[in-house]
Amino acid sequence: MTKACLITAIACLYVLLVGCTTTTVDEYRESNEQLSLLSGDKVVVLGRRHASDHETEPDFIDCIGKELGNATALNVINEPAFMDSVYPWFEPRTAPLGLKRMSKMLNEPMIATRIQSQNLRYIIWIDGSTETTDREGSVSCAIGPGGGGCFGFATWEKQGVYEAIIWDLKDMAEHGRVKVNAKGSSYMIAIGLPIPIIAQVQDQACEGIGKQLRAFFTG
């Protein structure tokens, strides 16, 4: 096979594989209530990291914070900055898992002062992760006297499952939940050079959950 034919074949395979890559997002909301925001009220998006089997990814939390801050008038506090300001009360071992525990924490003057000084009104907890669920095929690479290259085909499935819970610190109430389930297939084709086609599962999950969360505040 000539070099030109090889390049054409790879290009055709690439187009075919991109067409086969799919990502789906399922969303639901438990409440259609529009949440109030007074001038100066702020929101923080925090990841749950107390589970033994997974940790909500920091980059996913950052993505949702940007989705909320860029598309609405919400004033979103950066997660690392908030965690530093209230250290160590929101670390995985000490973070409140329910509103009852949160209420008790706010009765502690030191904690209450640090939170109130930031005009924090809502906490949005995100729990979940993106995991690889299935792998098939393989790609092998070798280097020899005449050069090297890779050959093979591999595919893997990823699934991102996340749930967001909105806490209102003024009313000490939960005002809604959003759950996103995103799935996608990724591929690696190698004929000389490996070509990955990656399904943007986490990005799709972020966009889906961010869109629904925005609706709580914008109607």
pLDDT digit string, tens, across residues 45-59 = 999 998 777 789 999
Question: How many C-beta atoms lie closer than 10 Å to residue 104's C-beta?
Answer: 11
Which residue spans within 39-119 are E strands per DSSP?
42-47, 75-77
| CA 129 – CA 201 distance, rounded (Å) | 11
Identify the weakest region by mean pLDDT among 60-64, 69-73, 84-88, 182-186.
Answer: 69-73
Percent of the chain surpassing pLDDT 70? 83
Distance CA(199)–CA(190), nearest Å, equals 17
pLDDT band (50, 70, 90) for residue 18:
very low
As given in the structure block, the two tokens for residue 19 are 């067409």
Strand partners, 197: 187
Residue 36 CB coordination number (10 Å): 12
| 11-15, 19-23, 138-142, 207-211: segment of lowest average pLDDT | 19-23
Q: Which of 63, 102, 96 is nearest to 79 (CA)?
A: 63
Q: Averaged over 211-216, what is the pLDDT?
A: 87
The pTM of this model reads 0.81
Split at pLDDT 50, 70, 90, the class of 117 is very high
Report pLDDT for 81: 95
Mean pLDDT across 21-49: 74
Q: pLDDT tier at 127 (50, 70, 90 boundaries)?
A: very high
Whether residue 8 is predicted with pLDDT greater than 60 in this model: the reply is: no
Tokens of 87: 């250290």
Residues 6+ positions from 146 with CB-CB distance below 8 Å: none
Q: How far is residue 113 from each of residues 107, 116, 119, 120, 184, measured CA to CA in Å?
A: 10, 5, 10, 11, 44
Residues 179 and 163 sit within 8 Å (Cβ to Cβ): yes
Q: Are strands 42-47 and 75-77 parallel, antiparallel or unpaired?
A: parallel
198 CB neighbour count, 10 Å cutoff? 13
Percent with pLDDT over 90 in the chain:
42
> According to the model, what pLDDT value does residue 189 have?
86
**DSSP letter (8 states) at residue 51:** -
* Most distant pair of Cα atoms in the chain: their distance: 75
**Which residue would you say has higher pLDDT here, 42 or 193?**
42
Of the candidate ranges 12-21, 109-118, 144-153, the one whose mean pLDDT is the lowest = 12-21
